Amino acid sequence: MSFRGKNAVVTGGAGGIGLQVSKQLLAAGAGVAIMDIQDNLEEFVKLRAAHPTQSVMIVKMDVANKKGVEATYEEIAKTFGSIDIVVNVAGIFNDKEVQRTLLVNLGGIINSTLSALPYMSKDNGGKGGTIVNMSSVVGLDPMFIIPVYGATKAGIINFTRCLANDKYHTRSGIKFVTVCPGATMTDMFTNFTEKIIFPETSDETYKILDRLNKQSAADVSRCILSVLEKDKNGAVYVIEGKRVFPIELKPQWTGKEQAL
């Protein structure tokens, strides 16, 4: 995939991995619309100054707000004319706030993805494109200290793989990809033990966090652009140690098992 002249939407683009993805896409020649509930005026000014000839659109929006996200996509499509790429990064970590975590992490991915389809799908006049949804390695393998967060990330993997159906791709021209970063230095780690639901595991949690091999948000963003270049529908990738690893998720149920 060539990014020059393409239009991209990045949720959670005001900071962390999302901001770095926005920078990478702009550097590669794409126009970028950032959707985030957070303000980061200083960084937004820098983005526009660094790329004066490219479209940089900033929309303050909570991805958990379904109607708001739908309206935002309508606004982006009118401004850009088309949408070619969506990278859904927006997410939070606070297992004590169960409903908010579900609404933002899983609900936000679903809201953004489904809202993008009418503007990207070839059977609705769009050009097709690629949607990358960010999950986590804890969506693949359970980590006992963060069950709520992990559940949302597991849901993202299943949701995205469901959409990556060959028949739908043939009709829509949209590819769906999941990325699962390992431990990444973002605000997620700030006051980490204050946001877990089992405070008695705090000592064990610190030991686990100390053992993790952490990567930077910039490392992950570069890997996400590499994934976009691969452009493989239905793929699931682990991002670890600045590298991308494709993984194969084999069916565990065929619907044809013998009755006991």
Tokens 């065929």 map to which residue? 254
Catalytic residue among 73, 149, 168, 237: 149
Q: Indicate if the alpha-carbon torsion angle 75, 59, 229, 177 is positive or negative.
A: negative
- Whether 73 is a known active-site residue: answer no
Measured CA to CA, the distance from residue 222 to residue 94 in angstroms comes to 27
Q: Where are the beta strands (DSSP E) in 182-214?
A: 184-185
Helix 217-230 to helix 16-27 angle (10° resolution) is 50
Q: Is the dihedral of CA 42, 111, 162, 135 positive or negative?
A: positive
Angle, helices 16-27 vs 41-50, to 10°: value is 10
Tokens at residue 122, please?
A: 């070839």
Contact assessment for residue 84 and residue 120, using Cβ atoms and an 8 Å cutoff: yes
Instruction: Identify any residues that bridge with 86 across adjacent strands, giving them in sequence order.
Output: 9, 131
Is residue 104 within 8 A of residue 90, CB to CB? The reply is: yes
Residue 53: C-alpha distances to residues 6, 26, 48, 83, 162 (Å): 13, 10, 9, 18, 38
Q: How many residues does the chain have?
A: 260
Residues catalogued as catalytic: 149
